[in-house]
């Protein structure tokens, strides 16, 4: 699994003009599922997102997690994170999971985050979505459950 994680002061996702997920202080997560991903990747990603220390402590150091600050998450499915544009100008998506697997692992990751007591808003899988955010910092982190970067 891959994720682009942005610390936000607010974020929302809309489908056909209707808000399907929103958060005030917290994280916006664009989450991609790879064809070789499974349950362990969902668990790793949920643990990492819940514990990622990207919020300041009283000394201004990034020592607090979204859990520590009482924040929430908006998690948006993003298969294009597995796009390969190394050759030519049109990305290929052969490394992205098929929709059935991707949907299951996306939903599982969100469920694991909720089990940790975190509020989680979502987009709609395979829908065209409008995502808006105010990146706080800005702080943006890339995560990969296979630890490729």
Q: So which residues are the catalytic ones?
A: 78-80
Location of structure tokens 């997102």:
49
- In whole angstroms, give the CA distance from residue 96 to residue 109: 16
- In whole angstroms, give the CA distance from residue 100 to residue 42: 15
- In whole angstroms, give the CA distance from residue 27 to residue 74: 6
Any alpha helices (H) in the chain, and if so which ranges? 39-51, 99-115
Of 62, 45, 58, give the one whose Cα is nearest residue 109. Answer: 45
């Amino acid at each position: 699994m891959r994720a682009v994680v942005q610390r936000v002061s607010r974020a929302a996702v809309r489908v056909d003009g209707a808000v399907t997920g929103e958060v005030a202080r917290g994280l916006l997560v664009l989450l991609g599922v790879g064809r070789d991903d499974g349950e362990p990747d969902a668990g790793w990603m949920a643990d990492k997102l819940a514990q990622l220390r990207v919020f300041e402590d009283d000394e201004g150091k990034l020592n607090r997690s979204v859990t520590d600050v009482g924040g929430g998450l908006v998690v948006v499915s993003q298969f294009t994170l597995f796009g390969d544009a190394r050759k030519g100008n049109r990305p290929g998506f052969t490394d992205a999971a098929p929709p059935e697997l991707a949907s299951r692992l996306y939903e599982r990751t969100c469920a694991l985050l909720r089990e940790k007591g975190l509020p989680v808003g979502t987009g709609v899988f395979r829908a065209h979505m409008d995502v808006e955010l105010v990146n706080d910092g800005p702080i943006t982190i890339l995560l990969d459950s296979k630890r490729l970067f």
